[in-house]
Amino acid sequence: MSVPDAQIYPYATGPAAVTAATHQDPQDLVFWTGWFCPASQRVWIALEERGIPYQYKEVNPYKKEEAFLRINPKGLTPTVEYKGKPLVESLVLLEFLEDAYPSHTPRLLPADPYERARVRLWLDHVSKQVLPAFFKTVQAQDKGKQEEELRAYYTALRKLADEVKGPYFLGQEFSLVDVAIAPFVVRDYIIEEHRGYKREEVGSGWKEYAEALEKRDSVTRTCSDKEHYEPIYGRYLRDESQSETAKATRAGRAVI
């Protein structure tokens, strides 16, 4: 099934709908999000993990509605309004939540400066290596190109897998690396079905890591029903999407 970018299902469904429904009251932090958006899910996972009070506001970032553009002129999700002031970019927002809510635990950046730096290095790997390879694999049309991009995706994931202590990146402690990659792990059935991806092909314990991530409460509580993601990814799989991410992938730029 195909839908133009702007005509996506309008609301969160399944467990995500239940979570959204319990966060409708006004709060200092307003979370502008698209239920389907992996960058937004990162922020949502962190909010849920740490029990930070927030008001959930569903928005379709492809519609670029005036009210939303007034808060974020680029019209991208996630956007956070904190005490009336806007902030954007999922990785910046994750760090902001650490800084603005120090008493909410668990902290997702470790206290040790060396470990904090390592987390940031591997977040950079996720942004610059893993996600571009994921979207290139999805958007490639030629069979040979799809296989080449999938191999690059495996290589990027394996480098990360080699650093995972298990069950999570830092061991027992759930951290921002886990938060940043989890939304893409829960969407990997798309490349499994359409590009022949297999978690076990990554090696180095990736499959076990992926399973630990998708079972985490904050991750399951922020997932909608699978059937509603499929039409959205159909546009990526045919390389028809005009989203900023799809355009960045075509232009060979880093994406989310």
Ligand X SMILES: N[C@@H](CCC(=O)N[C@@H](CS)C(=O)NCC(=O)O)C(=O)O
Residues that bind ligand X (CB under 6 A): 34, 37-39, 61-62, 76-78, 89-90, 243-245, 256
Q: Which of 6, 31, 68, 15 is nearest to 186 (CA)?
A: 15
| Helix ranges, 28-186 (H) | 38-50, 66-71, 90-100, 113-125, 131-139, 143-161, 176-185
Q: How far is the CB of 151 from ligand X (least distance, A)?
A: 25
Question: Of 57 and 207, which CB lies nearer to ligand X in the complex structure?
Answer: 57
Q: How far is the CB of 167 from ligand X (least distance, A)?
A: 25
Question: Of 32 and 154, which CB lies nearer to ligand X in the complex structure?
Answer: 32
> DSSP assignment of 27-65, as one string?
-SEEEEE-TT-HHHHHHHHHHHHHT---EEEE--TTT--
79: β partners:
32, 88
Q: How far is the CB of 250 from ligand X (least distance, A)?
A: 13
Q: How far is the CB of 245 from ligand X (least distance, A)?
A: 5
**8 Å CB contact between 35 and 77:** no
Question: Of 90 and 146, which CB lies nearer to ligand X in the complex structure?
Answer: 90
Q: How far is the CB of 62 from ligand X (least distance, A)?
A: 5
Q: How far is the CB of 19 from ligand X (least distance, A)?
A: 18
Close Cβ partners of 117 (under 8 Å, ≥ 6 residues apart): none
Q: What's the residue count for the chain?
A: 256
Sign of CA dihedral 184, 189, 192, 198: positive
Q: How far is the CB of 114 from ligand X (least distance, A)?
A: 26
Question: Of 50 and 63, which CB lies nearer to ligand X in the complex structure?
Answer: 63
CB atoms within 10 A of CB 92: 13
Question: Of 185 and 202, which CB lies nearer to ligand X in the complex structure?
Answer: 185
Q: Which of 47, 12, 15 is nearest to 29 (CA)?
A: 47
Question: Of 61 and 132, which CB lies nearer to ligand X in the complex structure?
Answer: 61
Question: Of 90 and 175, which CB lies nearer to ligand X in the complex structure?
Answer: 90
**8 Å CB contact between 65 and 58:** no
Query: In what side-by-side order are the strands of the sheet with 55-58?
Result: 55-58, 29-33, 79-82, 85-88
